[in-house]
Structure 1
Amino acid sequence: MDLTVIWAFIIAFAVFAYVVMDGFDLGIGILFPTLRVGQGRDRAMNSIAPVWDGNETWLVLGGGGLFAAFPLAYAVVLPATYPLIIAMLLGLVFRGVAFEYRWRDPAHRPFWDAAFFGGSLVAAMAQGMTLGALLQGVEVVERAYAGSWFDWLTPYTLLCGLGVVAGYALLGSTWLIWKLDGGAQKHARWLALRAAIATIVLMGAVSLYNIFLNAEYAERWLTAPEIYFAAPVPIITAIIAVSMLRAIGTDRNSKPFWLSIALFLFGMLGLGVTMWPYVVPPGLTIWDAAAPERSQIFMLVGVAITMPLIIAYTAWAYWVFRGKVSDEGYH
């Protein structure tokens, strides 16, 4: 068995879990100004209060796993995206502080609400632009980053950032459809429809941009025999998108959220088809950046123990706090 490939899938799973789980509470932050001051915002916050902090466990696992399993990739990607990583972390800090203090400091609640929105928006935009910076290619010379401080700032990375913001807003609004009722749920459906359309359009724009961004990317999607393996991804994605739009417009509660997760899953599969086997396009493959085999084996034992525990307590938390959220909390 190729341990490097196994570790690539472990990191990909951790990133996907983070994007989905922290994505919906970041999405609620992005949508916060559109929610009614008072009861509307309080119920939205209560819907994620039991789980939002644990969701960020996956960010630690993904980042720590990248450092441990692919140290060269970590050493290249961070210098290439330092401003974005710093902005993301500051956004997450502001979002976390605002989450706690808006309850404990009601006299300044408008300020904390603005901080919650701003931190969520900055974190989501930075994550999307980091993805775009990676996809557009990172200049590597002698196993070190050789680009400038602002190579990450391009129209393509801005487009990717907007796509992630729209996608997180979709996750957040469909989560609220599931967790709220009455007028708040109706408003969440209104938001979800618009977020879904924006997400689909931006996903399509990024996908088309990828074809012109890199000749190797175009070859993956447009030439035989690669096209036969890649074609099912956009076809299934389109089916999921149509089903999600229909579910948002009906009385379904949880279905729009699960379909939005499926949309993200196939979006990530599309990225995998585009990038494989590079971890830092266009020059570093997963095997170039991998840690020694003994290190991979040692870490794999730890992950085999800790990851099932993380999944178990995460599932337990979501099960305990299932159901709708009223003014008093879960019921």
Structure 2
Amino acid sequence: MEEPDDTPTLSQLERQAAHVRPAFGEHAHILCDNLVRIYKTEGVEVVALQGLDLLVDKGELIAVVGASGSGKSTLLNVLSGLDVPTAGLARVAGTDLLAMTAKDRLRYRREVVGFVWQQTARNLLPYLTAGENVRLPMRLAGRRGRTDRAGELLDLLGVAHRAGSRPGEMSGGEQQRVAIAVALANSPQVVLADEPTGELDSENSEQVFAALRRANRELGVTTVIVTHDATVSEQVDRTVGIRDGRTSSETLRRTAEGGAVIAEEYAVLDRVGRLQLPREFIGALDMERRVRLELECDHIGVWPDRPQPDTPQPDTPQPDQPQPEESR
């Protein structure tokens, strides 16, 4: 009697997954669902974001990396309210970015998000001191206690001694740390930083990243850093890779016993089931155009589309045949 086959069917696996799967982005602080951004330049359409998916938890610190033109800066501009998506869904701290009016967008940029540019000159007014630069956003928002708040932020970020200095009297690293204080002035829920260490040497880069990390840990502000700097991307718990306008990979880091840091890289499966295989994997197996897939009970096999060698068939035993007698 044959034993029953316990291998789950495809429909059984789908039912199990649906039972345990929460709604997409249900608890996310930042949600991008099939996000699209199309620019028109001289009659030519450029698709900067091609159905990008992203989830960031409240209080999380992540790095976003990708080649030039991959769409990472466009993503940051959308999340900051500086740009408007063409289609899809983008939600930050409960705010639907596609549904905002011009007035909503101004309030959003003033109260919900803080932004740090790569170019230090874009972050600070050159004729104001560090303290005055930090107090300015609070003044525009009509907040009280501006002097105390500015002093606390400058102290937290290690530049309290520069409160009376103008940007031209500070180093690049000090300017960026003051810029972070400006971004934090109105107690935003999210801070977005576009290449904040891009114009700095390694020592100043480390100080600026340490300031962002300190703000994230002590103030609980959700932080997204776009960067090419490996010293930054390798020190966060999650690094998101963007390729061709979509999130393509995530690297998760954890500390094992003994203090060793373990990094594990994952490919991102988007909402419609698209998966970008790493380029080095594709090149190693000379994959192109299409691949073969096979569903197993706990994984999916992927093979290059090549003719498969015929499987040799075992010899079929033949019944004994009478042997003819030799001619005499």
Q: TM-score over 0.5 for the alignment?
A: no
TM-score scaled by structure 1?
0.25
Higher RCO (CA 8 Å, separation ≥ 6 residues) = 1
Q: Normalising by the residue count of structure 2, what TM-score does the alignment of the two structures yield?
A: 0.25
Name whichever structure is richer in strand by fraction: 2
